[in-house]
Every structure is written in structure tokens, then in C-alpha cells.
Copies of this chain bind each other. A is one copy, B any other.
Amino acid sequence: MASMNEVAKRAGVSIATVSRVLNNSDSVNEETRMKILKAIKELKYQPSRVAKRLRSKSGAGNLLGVLIPDIQNPFYVDVLRGIEDIAYQNNYVIIMCNFNQDEKKEAVYLDILESEAIDGLIAAPAHEDDPRIKKFLRSGLPVVCVDRGLKGVDVDVVWVNNEEGAYQAVSYMIEKGYKRIAHIGGLPTIPSSRLRLDGYRKALKDHGLEIDENLIVQGDSTYTSGIEFTGKLLNMANRPDALFTGNNLITLGALEAVNERKLDIPGDIAVLGFDDMNWSNALNPPLTAVRQPAYEIGKRAGELLIQRIKDPKRPCIQMTLNSELKVRSSC
């Protein structure tokens, strides 16, 4: 790859001048500009983003970090797509860090990102006290949180109103006439899990239904936990007539467990999932779900991050997007 030096030599100018036309930062004679552009074209010169990043340590590196807990969860994939679209439009590129809900791995990735001199970070913290992300934040690096907030610090966040979404969903279930609505929640350490559970509880209470603690279980947000807990619920003597699942993967696990027992949805048990998927209509019956605008969450987060890189002083924004109950046939 040609370097700036070679361009300068070929154009018969100094590298400073080349840099100037590249960043059109300063006035340069039209004629020399042409000469330089010509040399650039002829040599197929491409600036080294690495050198640039090393030299100017302030948001000029065009590199973003994305730290997410589980890339196999379709929700985060969609978020990632949103981020990527914005990044691409702005000539940024993304280092993908999938920490798999493993705090050690999260820490390692954050260290690496720092050492990579990223310009900004989009993260879904492991939990809301996450000291590592907080440290990052304190170091002055632009950070935007998605899906999960951070307690006690001022930071941009993009998420949905989890409690409200769950509340609406469960209210809908109650109105449909379901009486024994079970809930399989995700990891209690994840804020959204708790909020969704809160929404569930509040809906039951507001509608005068008794809360049966036996119908509430919390697992680790995985597919397997969905299978397992649904199995247990279905084996109960007095089994629930409806199931509200706490996320994508749990929902899918639940469906597997129900299928396995050849039970009918919604006849034997209705299912409503938090998190929609692009292919919810491919399920049989099509899944009724609380749709988070995942792609848009990513997009907004990307926009906020780039804004903050340009203007580190702007006040923090907590952006709450609306979830939407997609009524299909499973409930």
C-alpha cells in the first residue's frame, strides 16, 4: 500500500500538503491540489486508519466497539444491524465483542477496546452496576448503552419501556380470559428481566388477579431454561393456561417444550413472548409477541454515539422507544 510519503514525492510536495488536501483543513493552491489528487489516484493511495488513529486520539479513528451479551439472540443481531448501518454511513467500522454474559470476558474485551483506541462504545452492560463499563465511562470515552441501563451514572441509553410492554401484554392476556398466567423470566441480574416481571405483577394486580408465586420462575435467559421451566410448568397438577415468556430464547424454548408434549397453542396453553422475531409468522401458530424495535434501537444508539463523539459535552439522553404488542394467534 502506498503511503502519504510516496504520494507527496510523486506530486512533488511535502506530506503536510497532502494531508491538507486529504482533510481539506487548510487552504491549498488549486493547481497543487490537482497534482496531489492525481498522484493519489495513480498510486491508489489509501490513508492508513491505523496511523491516523495513533496520531489523533480524538474520535478521528473511525472505530467503534460494540459489546453485547449474546450474539445468538436475534434481538441483539437486529440491534447490531442498526448500529452497523449508521456506522457504515459515517465511515466507522465495528469491533464486535460478544461477551456471552461472562463478566470475565466482558472485562477482557473492554481492556482490548481501550487498547484499540476506539472512538466510542455501544454496550449492553452485564448488569446495571457494571463497574467495568462505568470505568470506561469515567475515562471520558463516549458510551451509549442499549437495552440495559447503568445505575447512578449519567449516560446515554436507548431502550424500550420494558415494564409497560410487559404490562400491556399481560393485560391483554387477562382480557382474553386467561386466569393462570405463568411467567418465565430471564436472569434477575439483568434489569430488563426485573422490569418485565414488575410489569407482569402489576398487570395481574391491577386486574384483581391473585399472584401465584408458583407460576413465576426465573432462569438464565437461555433457550434451555425455556425448555426446562416450561416443562416444569406443564407438569404441574394445576397447570397454567397461558405463558408469558421473558425473552426471545425463552420463548423458543417454551415452544419446543409445548410441541414436545403435543399440546395445542393456544388451546391447551397460550403463549405470548417478550421480543418479536422477523419470522414470528413462520411459527405455528404465529406468535403473539411484544415487539421491541431492535433495529431502531441500534440505529438510534449509533446516532447518539456519533453525536457524542462530535460533541462530548452534550447532555445525556435516555431514549425510550415504544414496544408494540403484535397480536397473532398464539394468544
- Which A residues form the contact surface with B (CB < 8 A)? 1, 46-51, 53-54, 61, 66, 71-72, 74, 77-78, 80-81, 84, 88, 91, 93-98, 105, 108-109, 111-112, 114-117, 223, 249, 251-253, 255-256, 259-260, 265, 278-279, 281-286
Contact = CB atoms under 8 A, between A and B. Distances in A.
Given A50-B53, A279-B252, A88 B105 contact: yes
A249 B278 CA distance: 10
A94 B278 CA distance: 26
Nearest to A70: B81
A95 B98 contact: no
A316 B286 CA distance: 47
Given A50-B53, A251-B282, 12 more contacts: A46-B111, A46-B114, A49-B117, A50-B115, A54-B54, A71-B81, A72-B78, A72-B81, A93-B97, A252-B279, A256-B282, A282-B283
B50 A54 contact: yes
A112 B96 contact: no
A328 to B, nearest CB: 10
B71 A98 contact: no
A259 B285 contact: yes
23 contacts: A1-B114, A48-B54, A48-B117, A49-B116, A51-B54, A71-B80, A71-B81, A72-B81, A72-B278, A80-B96, A88-B105, A88-B108, A91-B112, A93-B95, A223-B278, A253-B282, A255-B282, A256-B279, A256-B281, A259-B282, A259-B285, A282-B283, A283-B284
Contacts of A1: 114-115
A111 B45 CA distance: 11
Given A255-B282, A256-B281, A98 B84 contact: yes
A108 to B, nearest CB: 8
A74 B77 CA distance: 9
Given A77-B77, A94-B95, A255-B284, A115 B47 contact: yes
Nearest to A105: B88
Contacts of A97: 93
Nearest to A260: B281
A283 B330 CA distance: 13
Contacts of A96: 66, 80, 84, 94-96
The list of the 7 closest CB pairs from A to B, nearest first, reads A255-B282, A284-B284, A252-B279, A96-B96, A252-B282, A256-B281, A256-B282
Contact of A112 (B78, B93, B253): B93
A48 B115 contact: yes
Contacts of A49: 112, 115-117
Contacts of A95: 93-96
B279 A259 contact: no
A97 B281 CA distance: 29
A114 to B, nearest CB: 7
